[in-house]
Structure 1
Amino acid sequence: MTAHAVGQLLLGLAAIILLARLLGLIARKLGQPAVIGEILAGVLIGPSLFGTTVSDLLFPMDIRGALAGLANVGLVLFMFIVGYEVDLAAVRGRRRAAVSVSIGSVVLPLGMGILLALWLAGHHGVTDVAPFALFIGAAMSVTAFPVLARILTDRDMLRTEVGGLALASGAVDDIIAWTLLAGVVAFGAGGGDVPWQILLAVPYALVMFLVVRPLLRRLLTARDRAGRLTPDILGIMLAGLLLSCWATEAIGVHAIFGAFVFGAVMPRAGGEQLRHETLERLEQVSVLLLLPVFFVIAGLRVDLSTVGATGLTDLALILAVAITGKFAGAYLGARLNRIAPRRAGALATLMNTRGLTEIVILTVGLQLGILDESLFSLMVVMALVTTAMAGPLLAVIYPKTAVERDAAELQRAALGGAGAYRVLALVPAGAAAAPLVSLATDIAARRDPAEVVLSRVLPYAQARVEVGTGLSGDLLAMTSSMAELADLAAPVRQRGPAAPVLARFSADPAAEILTQVGTAEPDVLVVDAGQDGYQALLDAVGPTLVTVVTEPPQSWSAVLVRAGGGSGGSGVSDGEAALRVGAELAAAHGVELIADTGGKPSRRIAAVIEELGARTAPMPDPASALVITAGDTGTAHLRVQGRREPSAKRRITSTTTPTPAGAPQQ
């Protein structure tokens, strides 16, 4: 390249980055995925609005070859990320429903797309109808898994059964659709005849899954030894990715399938940290530069200015088949598994998103000569429309109230029997977790039946990978929390009580905790004083509230309850609640219960002291006593607020209905 061409290339890249970021930001402000704005950036630069004036100025012909090369690298990285993020572990417990929804959302649009292709072939000069029809059908069948996951995250639907099933169905859909497309592309590249090289796809797949996959597990050991993702580890991954792409090109299948397969064989179990760090690294170059270049290269081929009456008719038919086929197929698959109509509609809407994945497929079809530029333009419009409609349609079919109701129902299904004495422990991260869980267990240990619910609410990550699902960091945090909670639950179960574990994501953790308390309806709530949303709990909570103010001693010679302060309103007084909690803790450790009433106790407190057999003594704290205060008075290890009957103004309501036995859980 000449010095002038290099300068033009750099100028064009700068324009691409700025325009993609700007329109991506506008799309997010409008409640749409950023990819909508970024795709539009490419279309706007293309000939649809300004002819070739802008494109020739920014991207003269002598630099378009370099841009196309960068775009292909961006495609390879994107498809690797898609393959890496497809994790069939999400299907566990949902296999039948996920497969049913996926097959329905592939088979029906595939058939309708093939019929539509027979109509389109006559308008677009298609000579080899068979590969064209198969390609159109396959393009109608694809779901954009990254966009689907991003919508679930943005709408806080990962807490619901619909969200979990959508992720599982999307993962299965990706496997089916990309396998189908690989065959269609090989068929189309051979001009309707299957090339002999395609027979090498079988040994390629065997080598990838039986040889390369076990070798890649060594990267986990190397990463753990280094404590981070090193340049050497990333270099090995990128070299393997490019070799896989070269292999699929050599056997007559497009390079993007090699990238997808290499991502699919990357280690999953125990590799959450490696996956997150890898995607985080690749985002820096892929999202900011390479994919926007791909959008521009694709956009330069989109020309809607020449669409006439025939083109509008074709577009209407394409939209009708794309929307109806995908929606009806997924909806019927869901209803066959007795999923409620509203939830089935939400699933069908989510499966209808196509986004960047569809643009990738259409670009491959254009490169292979299966599509002409006019049909490519119409199909790009279809991809934009089906992606943009998902959010507004979900707001109607599956509004926020339905999301909250279903999330509460799923949470209720994870709990034990309605008659159990229930202690809900909001478990903090770090060293404070084990002492808090131990206290909660002491409170419940003498009850039968009893359960100690271990709960942690996680905020979504602030910075997310934009090119993929954006869930790698969140899933890493969830995996770590679930493992920690499971370890904490084991000793609880050994002492007798059941120990359900709840770990949830939420965009508003404080509100989620209030909802969780209202759903679980615990007898006692145990929290750390630094708990996010603690003030809201004080204002609204109904159960006895036990607050860990300072770290309790490791062993206690006595339990000292300062029972003189605090009023429980219309429910159990703070003093009475503090005494009863103190009695459970004293009994669990086999120590004496001492009550300090600060003077003459009320008749009610005196009766409780007598009932519990506590010794009254306004004495200094024993050296190693566990100190409990009623309400918010005094210095203590624990502070107890009595069980209240919330007023109408502060009442926590729940509109959940009992979940049938055997209902799937998240």
Structure 2
Amino acid sequence: MTAHQLGQLLLALAGVITLARLLGAAARRLGQPPVIGEILAGVLVGPTLFGTLISDRLFPVDIRTALAGLANVGLVLFMFIVGYDLDFDSVKGRRKAAVSVSIGSVLLPLGLGVLLALWLARHHDVADVAPFALFIGAAMSVTAFPVLARILTDRGMLRTEVGGLALASGAVDDVIAWTLLAGVVAIGAGGGDVPWQTLLAVPYALVMFLLVRPQLRRLVEARTRAGRLTPGILAVMLVGLLLSCWCTEAIGVHAIFGAFVFGAIMPRAGGELLRHETLERLEQVSVLLLLPVFFVIAGLRVDLSTLDSTGLLDLALILVVAITGKFAGAYLGARLNRIPARRAGALAALMNTRGLTEIVILTVGVQLGILDDTLFSLMVVMALVTTVMAGPLLSLIYPKSLVARDIAELERAALGVPDAYRVLAVVPAGASARPMVDLATAVAARHDPAEVVLSRIVPFPAARVEVGAGLSGDLLAMTAAMKELADLAEPVRRQGPSAAVFARFSADPAADILAQADTTRADVVFVAAGQEGLAALRASLVTVLAPPPDGWDTVLVRADGDDGEAVLRLGAAIAATQGAELIVDAGARPGRRLAAAVRELGGTVLGPAVPPAALVIGTVAAADAHLVVRAAHPAVRDDRDARVPTTTPA
């Protein structure tokens, strides 16, 4: 490569990265996966809109070989990410339904695709119809698992029944479709006959799953010892990946299948941190540089400027077959398992996503000479349309209200005692978690039956893998939250109340706290300081401004104001459970009802002075309070008081 060519290559890469980031950000603003904008960036530099005006200047012919090499490396990394992102745990407990949905979403589009290929072959100079027909059918059958998972994550559907089944079905679909496509590619590479080298795919698969996979567990152990993903661990991983790609390329099944298999056999159990750190590290190279180059190389082949009436008819047929075949196949597969119609429709909409996965498949078809440039262009349009429509179609079939209902049903099912006096503690991360849980337990322990619900509102990770499913970071955050809550729940159960643990991803914590309080029918809700937007809360609200002082033996209640009686009763419950003295500051002129409540609860009325080692509980006006209490929302009356009478201290 000459100095001039090197300069052209560097300039081209700068332009590619800039265009991909700009259009990817624009797609995200429109509620679409960033990959949609990046694919469009590749199409824009192609001949569709500007002919060769941009492409010949920004991507001269003499640097396109170098660009193609970078694009192929990007493909390998992407397929490794796809394989590593597959969540096989999601299939557990859903195997029958997931297999049924997957088979339906593969077989019907495959059959329709083969029939469509017979039509397309007539006027696209197809020399060998059999591999062409099988390739078109396989291309119609693939679901983009990363796009599917990203849609579920963004809509908060990962933990719902629909989300779990969609993930399971997508994982099974990917395995079936990629296995089918590998066979089609082998036939296409052999000119319609299966070459003898392809038979080596069986021993290759056995070696990878039976010998290599157990050895990869050592990478998890090495990462645990080092405490991070070291360059050495990553180097071993990349060498294994490249060798796997070389093996599949040598046996005539294309390098991308070796990358997918190597990702699929990477360890999951106990390897969550390794998985997340690996995908984050590879994203820096793959998303920012190599995949945008792949989009450009693909985009240079897309030319819709010469589309005539025949081409428009072909495009219409391709879209009809792609959309109806995938949707109807998945829907029927779901209905055969007695999945309700609305949920079956949501699954069908999700299985119709194709995204970058489809572009990868089509590129392989071009490289093998199975597709011409015209058909490639039409199929790229199909990939874009089906991916863009997935999100809006899902919103139409399964709106947010139904998602919220599903989450509420899951949380209600997790409650141990239906009619218990219930304290919901929205537990923060860190050292302040245990004091809040102890105080919530003290309030609940004065009632029988009683339950403490420990909840964690998990914000979506600020940095998320863009090209993959994004599951690694999300699942890691959720797993860590659930483990911490489970550890906090054990001491609660030892003190008498039952305990349940919930965790939610949230972009609006206040709205989710309100929804969770309604779902659990909470009587009291504990939150950390700084949480706003809870004015409509129906339960009593306790805000923990600061942890109690060490060794506290007194509860000082500042019971003035409209919420004075609620403050008093909560303070009395805590004092009785902890064996502490209850002291009441009832203000300058306490009302008769409050004074009677103080006598009833055995409190001692003092002035405003704070005793040493006191837990201070007050209303909003109490500046020195550790806890601030607001009574239950006055506009809402329910049967809680009749259902669970307040227990006074003994």
What TM-score results when the alignment is normalised by the length of structure 1? Answer: 0.91
Alpha-carbon contact 1:528-1:548 (below 8 Å) kept: yes
- Displacement of 1:622 in angstroms is 4.2
Q: Secondary structure at the match of 2:337?
A: coil
Taking the aligned partners of 2:607 and 2:8, their CA distance within structure 1 comes to 85
Paired amino acid for 2:621: D
Alpha-carbon deviations, 1:44-73, whole Å to 9, x = none? 222223333432222222221111111100
CA distance in 2 between partners of 1:169 and 1:186 (Å): 26
Whether 1:594 and 2:548 are equivalent positions in the alignment is: no
3-state SS of 1:499 partner: strand
Amino acid at match of 1:167: L
Report the counterpart of residue 547 of structure 2 in structure 1: 551
Amino acid corresponding to residue 268 of structure 1 in structure 2: R
* Paired residues for 1:93-492 under 5 Å: 93-158=93-158, 160-492=160-492
**Secondary structure of 1:451's aligned partner:** strand
> How many percent of aligned residue pairs carry the same amino acid?
75
Q: Aligned partners of 2:195 and 2:321: how far apart in 1?
A: 31
Equivalent in the alignment of 1:48: 48
Distance in 2 (alpha carbons) for counterparts of 1:635 and 1:619: 11
Give, in angstroms, the shift of residue 225 of structure 1.
Answer: 2.5
CA distance in 2, matches of 1:133, 1:113: 7
Q: Is the 8 A contact 2:457 2:506 kept in 1?
A: yes
Letter in 2 for 1:55: S
Distance 1:183 1:67 in 2: 28
The residue type equivalent to 1:154 in the other structure is D
What's the offset of the Cα at 1:617?
Answer: 4.1
Show CA shifts across 1:203-259 (max 9, x none).
Answer: 222222222222222222222322222211111111111011011111221110111
Q: Give the letter aligned to residue 533 of structure 2.
A: A
Q: What is the count of residue pairs matched by the alignment?
A: 638
Instruction: Report the more deviating stretch, 276-285 or 214-223.
Output: 214-223
1:620, CA displacement in angstroms?
Answer: 4.9
Deviation readout 1:618-637 (Å, 9 max, x if unpaired): 48544333332245325233
Tell me the secondary structure at the aligned position of residue 302 of structure 2: coil
- Mapped partners of 1:426, 1:181: distance in 2: 48
Q: Which amino acid aligns with 1:103?
A: I
The answer (yes or no) to whether the contact 1:452–1:500 under 8 Å persists in 2 is yes
Secondary structure, aligned partner of 2:452:
strand
CA distance, structure 2, for counterparts of residue 144 and residue 358 of structure 1: 7
Deviates more, 1:418-427 or 1:13-22: 13-22
Match of 1:580 among 569, 585, 589: 569
Q: Which moved more, 1:65-74 or 1:278-287?
A: 278-287
Deviation at 1:551, TM superposition (A): 1.2
Measure, in 2, the Cα distance between the counterparts of 1:495 and 1:187: 67
Corresponding position of 2:592: 603
Amino acid at match of 1:566: G
Q: Distance in 2 between matches of 1:136 and 1:279?
A: 31
CA contact (8 A) 2:331 2:348 kept: yes
- 1:174/1:598 CA distance change after superposition, 3 Å: same
Question: C-alpha separation between the residues in 1 aligned to 2:51 and 2:543?
Answer: 67
1:466 deviation in Å? Answer: 1.3
- Using the TM superposition, give the Cα deviation of residue 123 of structure 1 relative to its aligned residue in structure 2, in angstroms: 2.2
Q: What's the secondary structure of 1:359's corresponding residue?
A: helix
On the 8 A contact 1:420/1:448 being kept in 2, the answer is yes
| C-alpha distance in 1 between matches for 2:25 and 2:623 | 51
Residues 164-187 of structure 1 deviation map (CA, whole Å, 9 limit, x = unaligned): 332222222212211221222122
8 Å Cα contact 2:55-2:300 kept in structure 1: yes
Contact 2:166 2:347 in 1 (8 A): yes
Give 3-state SS (helix, strand or coil) of 2:469's partner.
coil
Mean Cα deviation higher: 356-365 or 486-495: 486-495
Distance 2:516 2:576 in 1: 29
Question: What's the counterpart of residue 641 of structure 2?
Answer: none
For the residue of structure 2 that corresponds to 1:594, the secondary structure is strand
Which amino acid in the other structure matches residue 578 of structure 1?
A: V
2:31 corresponds to: 31
SS in 2 for 1:540: coil
Whether the 8 Å contact between 1:159 and 1:505 is mirrored in structure 2 is: no
Point out the more displaced range, 620-629 or 365-374: 620-629
Evaluate the alpha carbon distance shift between residue 18 and residue 631 of structure 1 in structure 2; reply closer, same or farther with a 3 A threshold: closer
1:645 and 2:641 are equivalent in the alignment: no
Verify the 8 A CA contact 2:146 2:467 in the aligned structure 1.
Answer: yes
- SS of equivalent to 2:498: coil
For residues 505-535 of structure 1, the C-alpha deviation after alignment (integer angstroms, 9 at most, x for no partner) is 11222222222223222011112224xxx23
1:554 Cα shift? 4.5
Contact 1:561 1:593 in 2 (8 A): yes
Aligned pairs (5 A) from 1:530-569: 530=530, 534-537=531-534, 539-563=535-559, 565-567=560-562
Go from structure 1 to structure 2 and tell me whether the alpha carbon gap of 1:10 and 1:255 turns closer, same or farther (over 3 Å shift): same
Aligned pair in 2 of structure 1 residues 599, 24: CA closer, same or farther (>3 Å)? closer
Matches of 1:205 and 1:229, distance apart in 2: 27
Partner amino acid, structure 1, of 2:558 = R
- In 1: Cα distance, 2:494 partner to 2:627 partner: 25
Partner Cα separation in structure 2 for residue 207 and residue 321 of structure 1: 38
Q: What is the alpha-carbon root mean square deviation over aligned residues?
A: 2.2
> Judging changes above 3 Å, is the alpha-carbon distance between structure 1 residues 97 and 587 closer, same or farther for their aligned structure 2 residues?
farther
Cα deviation per residue 1:253-298 (whole Å; 9 max; x = unaligned)? Answer: 1110111111111121222222222112211211111111111111
Alignment check: 8 A CA contact 2:327 2:349 kept: yes
Residue 628 of structure 1: aligned partner: 617
Question: In the alignment, which residue of structure 2 is the partner of 1:80?
Answer: 80
Q: Post-superposition shift, 1:10?
A: 1.8
Q: Give the unaligned 5+ runs of structure 2.
A: 639-650
Which stretch shows the higher mean deviation, 307-316 or 238-247? 307-316
2:603 alignment partner, one of 614, 617, 621:
614
For 2:539, give the aligned amino acid: P
Following superposition, the deviation at residue 352 of structure 1 comes to 0.5
Amino acid aligned to 2:469:
T
Q: Distance in 1 between matches of 2:587 and 2:372?
A: 88
Q: Deviations over 1:464-485 (max 9, x none)?
A: 2211123332222111111111
- Mapped contact 2:423–2:525 kept (Cα < 8 A): yes
How far 1:83 sits from its partner (Å)? Answer: 0.7
Bigger shift: residues 267-276 or 608-617? 608-617
Tell me the secondary structure at the aligned position of residue 633 of structure 2.
Answer: coil
Q: Answer with 252-261 or 188-197: which moved more.
A: 188-197
CA distance in 2: counterparts of 1:597 and 1:13, whole angstroms: 72
For 2:597, the aligned partner's letter is V
After superposition, the Cα gap between the structure-2 partners of 1:215 and 1:599, relative to the gap in structure 1 and judged at 3 Å, is: same
- Which segments of 5 or more consecutive residues in structure 1 lack a partner in the other structure? 568-573, 652-666
1:520-557 CA distances to partner (integer Å, 9 max, x unpaired)?
A: 22011112224xxx2322x2222122222221135443
Q: Is residue 27–residue 36 contact of structure 2 (8 Å, CA) maintained in 1?
A: yes
Deviating more after overlay: 47-56 vs 380-389: 47-56
Q: Residue 5 and residue 600 in structure 1: after superposition, are their counterparts in 2 closer, same or farther (change >3 A)?
A: closer
Aligned match of 1:63 = 63
3-state secondary structure, aligned to 1:423: strand
Whole-angstrom distance in 1 between the partners of 2:529 and 2:561: 17
CA contact (8 A) 2:566 2:630 kept: yes
After TM superposition, the structure 1 stretch with the greater mean CA deviation from structure 2, 225-234 or 397-406, is 397-406
CA contact (8 A) 1:575 1:631 kept: no
Q: Which amino acid aligns with 1:192?
A: G
Distance 1:614 1:558 in 2: 11
Q: Deviations over 1:309-337 (max 9, x none)?
A: 22222211111110001111111222233
- Structure 1 contact 109–329 (Cα < 8 Å) conserved: yes
Q: Which residue of 2 aligns with 1:658?
A: none
